[in-house]
Amino acid sequence: MEDHRAGTGMRGRNGILALVAECLDQPPGTERPVTMLVGPRGSGASEAHGAVMGRFGPEHPFAYLNFAADQALLPRYALALIARQLERRLPQYRVSRFPRLTLGLLASDRELRMSDRSQGRRAVQRQLEEFRRQAEDRHGDYLSAFLEVAGSALGAPNGAPAVVAALLRDAAARGGRRLPGRVFAGAPQWFGDHPLVPSRDAWDALLELNMWRHSGSEQEKRILDRVLFAAFLDDLRHDTTRWFAPGSYLLLLDNCHTDQGRLFLELLTGARRDAALTGAVCDPLTVVGSSNRWLENWGSSAGDQWPWQLRGPDRACLADWRERRPAHDSDDSWWYPLRLRDLTLDEVRTGIELASPRHSGLAPFVYRLTRGLPVAVRQVMDVLDLANTPRRGSGEFDLWLRSLPGRRMRRAPHDTLAEAALDHLLEDFPQTQREALVRCAAARDLSMGSRVLGAVTPGGAGESLFNEVRSRWLLEPGHAQPRLHPWLRRLLLWRLAADPGEWDTVHDLMADHFEAEGRPEETMYHRLAAHRVEDVVEQMAGRFRELSAARWIRLFNAVTSAPNRLPADRSPLELLGELAPEAPTHSITDVSVIRGLVCARWLWSDPLGDPGLRLNSVIAAKYDRLSELRGSEIVALYDEAERYRHWRHPLTLADEG
């Protein structure tokens, strides 16, 4: 089977490509944002990086860094690797040069030995020449030495096509060359003129950099990083003024939520802010970063003090960024955060048709189950492509689907789908928090669940658990109540269902809490989840006689969306027959019909309860019967029957703006 990443990863991400194209087309000096792709693990950021590289890499100087690499990527290492890649030879441009950055790195690389600082220029220049010669003898050029200490950060992003991997290899292999002898002619004075360096003499300034690196305080080492970033950006500005030089450069930064990634972004945006405040033109760098966690320098993960509101990628553009950005003196002026949305039903269908045509008819089931999270779609399709999958359309296949989270994966045969998916989404969550999340998933509102059930976490850390989930973008966007992403919640509920006693306990606790608060809808939701079917049927029957038909339907839909732990070894119709056996025609009442309707809709609302939506006709028939028994306000009931009888999956929106 083809790799599903190619089929689903960039669906719905074309707005990112359009934004990058717009930025790259701007003339030098135009201000460009630091675009951040944010979302949970598996939301498609790495695939977006790969797609951007594949689209623009062949014709533009570009660099890619993965901050999730095993090695600590110090800022100086990151800059060297970026410069190394941007020096890649392209037929339409002259080779880019980084004399200021290279000299700054060289001057702060190895400790300069001087018995007397008055030895001055000649001693510094002599030792720097020797350092350079040794690096070139060993590596061919100075920047190539950094491939040895930090080269693991250059691996291709997840899901990148072969052409992207080849581009990255070419950038690393062909980027460098020996430094020209005149590199010391003008670059040293740049450091002497820089406002962060105390020494005005060029060679004293370089010696200052060396001392900061090897014997300076933490503050001085951070100032050194700031100077190196300023040198890098100034090299880019000067390079665009040369004949046949590129007018813009592309920088892709993956997994920026790590300590090294956050520091790099802080230094980069700080250097841009400093340059703007001095009146310098903007550097020609188009930056696209990604993070699956809220960045600490954005403030609280609640976002209430951050000036930015997240946008979807579909309508991203420079005009939108310019309209909404804060002033230059703000630390937030350069950000442009884009929330990677889930795939729509049509995008899931198209991706499956391209990657696994024989399963194209399962797109509605896959979408209902995963809610379009790209990694979840891939994982589900991986299981569906197992060789022993029953023939589609048979009753056996529906039963097979009902146990899908417990099935082994084709690419990871030692893990079930639920295990592999949870490990991916909850990477770095400690076991105590994972166990607490399993319990809290019983609640639709995670903040409520963490308050009512969070005491199981050592130290009563319900609030910290909620904040951790929110900071990793694991809440479903677009809801007033904070809800877990549907795919994550479904996996957690699957794990909770493995302990029936625990399942009933947490749902009873939630029902008791809402009953004490006088919230009948939530109470019935959890009573039904705890399999207190008769209690719920009795209350819904009473409400049927009290409420208008339209209000009753809204209440009914909310209550019957409750999760279940019904056995997966029987078909939906068999389970319905056990839960609500058909009554003789002469004894049919509104209570008996509502019992059947509650149980049928309860099964139907769970994609794993009724994968093939075989209960549509049953629900429609029971609505017809209920309308006959009501006697008034029957139009809403008949309309609902028609909706299920001619079911069409609701449209999903690409962008809420």
Q: How far is residue 156 from each of residues 10, 152, 609, measured CA to CA in Å?
A: 16, 10, 40
What local confidence, expressed as pLDDT, does residue 9 receive? 47
Q: Tell me which DSSP letter residue 475 carries.
A: B
Two structure tokens written together for 641: 């029957």
Question: Between helices 183-193 and 218-239, what is the axis angle to 10°?
Answer: 130
Of 212, 224, 309, 229, the closest CA to residue 269 belongs to 229
Task: Please write the tens of the pLDDT for every residue from 242-265.
Answer: 888 899 999 999 999 999 999 999
**CB count in 10 Å sphere of residue 105:** 24
Contact 5, 351 (CB under 8 A): no
Residue 209 near residue 108 (C-beta atoms within 8 A): yes
DSSP string, 200-241: -SHHHHHHHHHHHHHH--HHHHHHHHHHHHHHHHHHHHHHTT
Pick from 61, 92, 56: nearest CA to 171:
61
Going by pLDDT thresholds of 50, 70 and 90, the confidence category of residue 139 is low
Residues facing residue 35 across a β-bridge = 288, 336
pLDDT bracket for residue 154 (50, 70, 90): confident
Three-class SS state of 287: strand
Q: Which of 458, 461, 462, 460 is nearest to 449 (CA)?
A: 462
∠ Cα 302 303 304 (to 5°): 90
d(CA 592, CA 190): 86
The answer to which of 48-62, 571-585, 618-632 has the lowest mean pLDDT is 571-585
d(CA 355, CA 381): 9
In this prediction, residue 653 carries a pLDDT of: 53
Give the count of beta carbons closer than 10 Å to the beta carbon of residue 460: 11
pLDDT at 488 over 50: yes
pLDDT score at 28: 93
Q: How much is the pTM?
A: 0.91
**Above pLDDT 90, what percent of the chain?**
64
Q: What is the four-CA torsion angle of 506, 508, 512, 514, rounded to 10 degrees?
A: 70
- For the chain, the farthest-separated pair of C-alpha atoms sits apart, in whole angstroms, at 110
Structure letter (DSSP) for residue 314: G
Over residues 530-550, the mean pLDDT reads 96
Question: What average pLDDT does this structure show over 6-12?
Answer: 48
Contact 567, 603 (CB under 8 A): no
Taking alpha carbons only, the member of 168, 480, 226, 478 closest to residue 341 is 478
Does residue 648 or residue 492 have the better pLDDT? 492
pLDDT given for residue 456 in this prediction: 44
Q: Does the pLDDT of residue 458 top 70, yes or no?
A: no
